[in-house]
Amino acid sequence: MLVISVILALIRLPNLFSAASNVLMGGWVAGASWETLIMGIGASMALYAGGMVLNDLVDQERDRTLHPDRPLPSGALSRGLAWKVVTGLGMLGLMMAAGAGLRVLMVALMLAACISAYNLWLKKFELPGSLAMGVCRALNVLMGLSLGNLTGTPGWMPAVTIGFFVFGLTWFSTSEEQPGSRSGVGGIAVMWTVLVVVMGWWMAKMTHGWWGLPAAVIAWMMISLGLDALNKQLTKASTQSWVGRLVRNLIAWDAAWAGALVGWKAMAGVWVLMIPGYLLTRGTKSSS
């Protein structure tokens, strides 16, 4: 049980639900069946989790100074077992994607390649690494869209906006070795506001757009409040904590797009994924 709990900490379990929400939103937009949705969500979560473990394997030496309490630098988990977890999760993700169809597998292979390229090489460079993370999120949305019929589906807009926001967030988070800069927080706030305006303009043209607009405003308020709190206490710990929270708040963004492109039921279904992430985060804090 101890090993399992360590692995769950290593894969950042609360954050996995933001990956699931990308695929759930994309699948519903594309009219996917429940069977393929389950396979696609499983593939996304497995590849995301494997990427988290690979990230910590690559960063183990750096984390001895920055995050000595993490499983690998603290010695709670061996590198050999961590590599087995990465391999197993990668194989599981690709197998589940293959079970959902050839098109889904092709997107999953591109996502796995992008995750590997980021962790093994591109993360060493601030701008290319941030771009790679944005592409990973966009591909995750596209994996959801590939679960159904793509004909006439305006899914590229959610993929682009979500990918662009993650690019900016990653660019800011690369400064975690030093306290974050207020200009970085302000830059993300401006970018988020511009993207919400673009989202609002696009959603207003959709059949169900008026369901997405209030959800987009709520998502904007959630992230704006988070950025305001971060701006008041710019430390390494607060930056790391709020980046994780902003990643989980991407579920609200997915919900807004689901509402605009599918309707209120899809929006509510995506919003539900906020609950397990929140509860797991609270449980982690209370036990630490």
pLDDT digits (tens, 9 = 90+) for 205-255: 665 656 666 666 666 666 666 565 555 555 555 556 666 677 878 898 898
Q: From 196, 166, 183, 288, select the one nearest 234 (Cα to Cα).
A: 183
Residue 266 predicted with pLDDT over 60: yes
The rounded distance, in Å, linking the Cα atoms of 280 and 272 is 14
Residue 219: the pLDDT is 65
**What CA–CA distances, in Å, run from 211 to 32, 133, 203, 215?**
21, 29, 9, 7
As a whole number, mean pLDDT of residues 43-48 equals 98
Residue 130: CB partners within 8 Å, gap ≥ 6? 167, 168, 170, 171, 174
As a whole number, mean pLDDT of residues 15-22 equals 95
- Residue range 29-42, pLDDT digits in tens: 999 999 999 999 99
More confidently predicted of 256 and 189: 256
What number of other Cβ atoms are within 10 A of residue 43's Cβ?
Answer: 30
- Residue range 147-185, pLDDT digits in tens: 998 655 566 888 988 898 888 878 777 655 554 454 555
2-287 is classed in which CATH architecture? Orthogonal Bundle (1.10)
What angle separates helix 156-173 from helix 236-248, to the nearest 10 degrees? 170
